[in-house]
């Protein structure tokens, strides 16, 4: 990246980041308000998807997608992806023809207004300090009832580059088998080059997203969780290395 582009990127970031966070605040307030109005769930989802779209436009991201033909818009999935960049949040909200709900750390629910927004959208809450599954079961059932899909970054955190992934955790496979949902594997690349872990510079560029053929879980049992986890990790790894 040349010096002129660096300067443009810095100036753009300084100007647009405060504006974007203001937009995020407005979206949160509107989504929480939607809980008390008719058709509120539908409107809240549209605001949520608008947030993803605006995030990509603010940064200047173009999406190159392959495999979209594998997605049945009338089906709920457990969508499983690698996680090289913060940009994945925006790309995955906006890009898919299905509406996804991210598996979300319980700590985020403690943030005023933002936590209420997550609850209003029905994002499944994961408390890593509590082994009980009753709460996540209820939230996942609500996502499926509304014909949305569960989005899981199976590494559990952002990886360090586009060319490597961390070992996958078993939660995504457990969810898919437990709820008899097909798994939709997704590989995303180039995001780490544009916005690496710990950085917020708004670099323009392209992100590649590849959707694999869904994996059916209807004949699987909990004994297959480890095997399915390994299959997903190897499949996605094969695309990014």
Specify the pLDDT at position 4. Answer: 47
Give the confidence band of 3 by pLDDT, cuts at 50, 70, 90: very low
Question: What pLDDT does residue 1 have?
Answer: 42
Angle at 192 between CA 190 and CA 198, to 5 degrees: 165
Question: How large is the angle between the packed helices 40-59 and 114-121, nearest 10 degrees?
Answer: 120
Residue 221: count of CB within 10 angstroms of its CB: 8
Its sign, for the CA torsion 46, 42, 113, 149, is negative
Q: Are 221 and 177 in contact (CB under 8 A)?
A: yes
Residue with tokens 């660096």: 6
Tens digit of pLDDT for each residue in 83-141?
Answer: 999 999 999 999 999 999 998 888 888 899 999 999 999 998 887 666 456 667 788 88
Domains located in the chain, CATH noted: 3-240 (3.40.1130)
The maximal CA–CA distance of the chain, rounded, in angstroms, is 56
**Among 157, 158, 161, 140, which Cα is nearest to 149's?**
140
Q: Which residue has the tokens 């996680």?
A: 83
Whole-prediction pTM? 0.91
How far is it, in rounded angstroms, from Cα 139 to Cα 145?
A: 10
Q: Provide DSSP, 35-60.
A: GGSTTHHHHHHHHHHHHHHHHHHHHT
CA distance 113 to 94: 22
């Amino acid at each position: 990246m040349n010096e002129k582009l660096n300067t443009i990127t810095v100036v753009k970031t300084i100007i647009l980041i405060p504006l974007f966070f203001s937009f995020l605040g407005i979206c949160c307030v509107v989504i929480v308000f939607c809980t008390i109005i008719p058709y509120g769930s539908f409107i809240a989802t549209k605001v949520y998807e608008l947030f993803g779209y605006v995030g990509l436009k603010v940064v200047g991201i173009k999406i190159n997608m392959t495999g979209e033909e594998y997605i049945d818009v009338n089906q709920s999935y457990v969508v499983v992806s690698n996680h090289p960049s913060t940009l994945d949040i925006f790309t995955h909200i906006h890009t898919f023809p299905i509406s996804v709900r991210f598996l979300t750390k319980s700590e985020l629910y403690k943030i005023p207004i933002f936590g209420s927004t997550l609850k209003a959208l029905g994002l499944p809450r994961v408390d890593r300090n509590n082994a009980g599954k009753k709460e996540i079961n209820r939230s996942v059932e609500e996502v499926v009832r509304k014909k949305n899909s569960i989005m899981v970054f199976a590494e559990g955190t952002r990886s360090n580059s586009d060319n490597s992934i961390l070992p996958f955790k078993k939660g995504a496979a457990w969810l898919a088998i437990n709820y008899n949902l097909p798994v939709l594997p997704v590989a995303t690349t180039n995001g780490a080059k544009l916005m690496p872990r710990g950085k917020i510079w708004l670099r323009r560029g392209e992100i590649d997203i590849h959707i694999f053929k869904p994996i059916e879980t209807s004949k699987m049992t909990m004994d297959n969780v480890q095997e399915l986890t390994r299959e997903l990790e190897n499949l996605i790894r094969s695309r990014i290395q």
